[in-house]
Amino acid sequence: MRKTRIAIVGVGLAATPHALALNDLREEVEVVGVVGRSRERLESFKDQYGFPLGESFEAVLKDPDVDAVLVLTPPHTHLDLVLQATAARKHVLLEKPLDISTQRAERIVQACRDANVRLGVVFQNRFRPAVQRLAALVHGGALGPLAYAGLDLRWWRPQSYYDEPGRGTYARDGGGVLMTQAIHALDLLMWLAGDVSSVAGTTATTLLHSMEAEDFASAALNFENGAAGYVRATTAAFPGFPERIELVGKLGTAVLEGGALRVFFQNGGTHEFDDPSSTGFGAKPMDFPHVAHRELIRDFCAAIREGRAPAVVGDDGLRVQRLIERIAHGHGGRL
């Protein structure tokens, strides 16, 4: 089997689990070059993970042996990088969110479609073992028709996190807790419960943070399948708690809290599964294992080799971003 040849673009905070995952996948994937803006960071990244550095993004795109680019740069840079990649007919694996606005995100998806290249989105939580078990139950009908579905994300980020240049701004990140933290859980909620038909939402910035965008959001939802729903998300809940997704169906209730899955069936049966890994809900954003990243990258590379769509595609990123935009519409205020 020919290895998939990937170039990495960006070596910031998000790069660590990807690098660990790619080292695990050395028999399947070859990292042919790493590029970024900071030479100091690039040299440190090379020393730590052993990947070769590329001359430039343009040089990477000109290399006919490069199959795909893994884009790990800040959200506001994504559109330009993807347009360059699609012009060179390179497949793209893109860190979330697609970009800072739905309009820009739509251009990314369309550009990849027009160029007939694969677009994968880094929603790695779909590959967590407890999530996989829950998805099999829900999609297999074990809970029956859903009555309601809810998400409660109570995370903590200290002020020092938002003091980093651009962090929590609309110009660089496209928003706050919704676009940067809750987006993963919102993807799971919609993957499990379906598309949302109506939203009544509100956002705010609490007194615990000095930042431009929101650190608190809540919404009441109605799903297209008739289920009701809710969302509450914040990065102001010290010291941080595992996120919770609750699905109540006609045949039973499932609760996913961090990596702990509990299912209670109305016929008296139960199902339990524990994955002890964390999801970075506290002051250390990258405090979680890289296994889910590894499986997402493995699937993306297999999709390239097999000529199929990856498990998580651009349209998945779009549907979540559209929901976030609806929740945040008319946002403002300080609690």
Q: Which domains does the chain have, with CATH numbers?
A: 4-125+291-311 (3.40.50.720), 126-284+319-328 (3.30.360.10)
pLDDT of 332 > 60? The answer is: no
d(CA 114, CA 83): 11
| Residue 262 φ then ψ, to 5° | -130, 125
User: CA 287, CA 281: separation in Å to the nearest integer?
Assistant: 8
Query: What pLDDT was estimated at residue 116?
Result: 98
| The pLDDT of residue 288 | 86
Q: Tell me: the pLDDT tens digits for 292-313?
A: 999 999 999 999 999 999 999 9
Closest residue by Cα to residue 14 from 72, 63, 62:
72
Q: What is the pTM of this model?
A: 0.95
72-125 pLDDT per residue, tens? 999 999 999 999 999 999 999 999 999 999 999 999 999 999 999 999 999 999
Question: Counting runs of H as helices and runs of E as strands, what totals does the chain give?
Answer: 11, 13
SS3 content of the chain, % helix, strand, coil (to 5): 35, 25, 40
